[in-house]
Amino acid sequence: MQRKKLSTTIGAGNYGYLHAMVKRGRAESVGEAVDKTVELARRLENRATFERQTAAFFKGRSSKVAAEETDLEDVLSAASQEMDFDRP
């Protein structure tokens, strides 16, 4: 992975958090700790975006589409009741 140089100042608490990650073995360096923290923030942001988009999709669908999906859900639920998932 190609690394980029970042030179900045951060809050003392955040600096301590990054060093604690290194001390606990969760990162090999402060730079890696920053990467892991940013990756986590990005995952959380992406998850929140996906949740908003999903909610908007379900809110925006027509009542006909909602009814069709409910019917499909009922059929799939009934079919899954007949399946033996423990049998090879």
Q: What is the pLDDT of residues 23-58, one digit of tens each?
A: 999 999 999 999 999 999 999 999 999 999 999 998
Q: What is the pLDDT of residue 19?
A: 97
User: CA–CA separation, 18 vs 30, rounded Å?
Assistant: 6
Angstrom distance (rounded) from CA 18 to CA 29: 9
- CA dist., res. 3 & res. 61, Å (int): 44
pLDDT digits (tens, 9 = 90+) for 4-14: 999 999 999 99
Q: Which of 8, 7, 33, 6 lies closest to 18 in space, CA to CA?
A: 33
pLDDT at 63 over 90: yes
Residue 4 or residue 87, greater confidence:
4
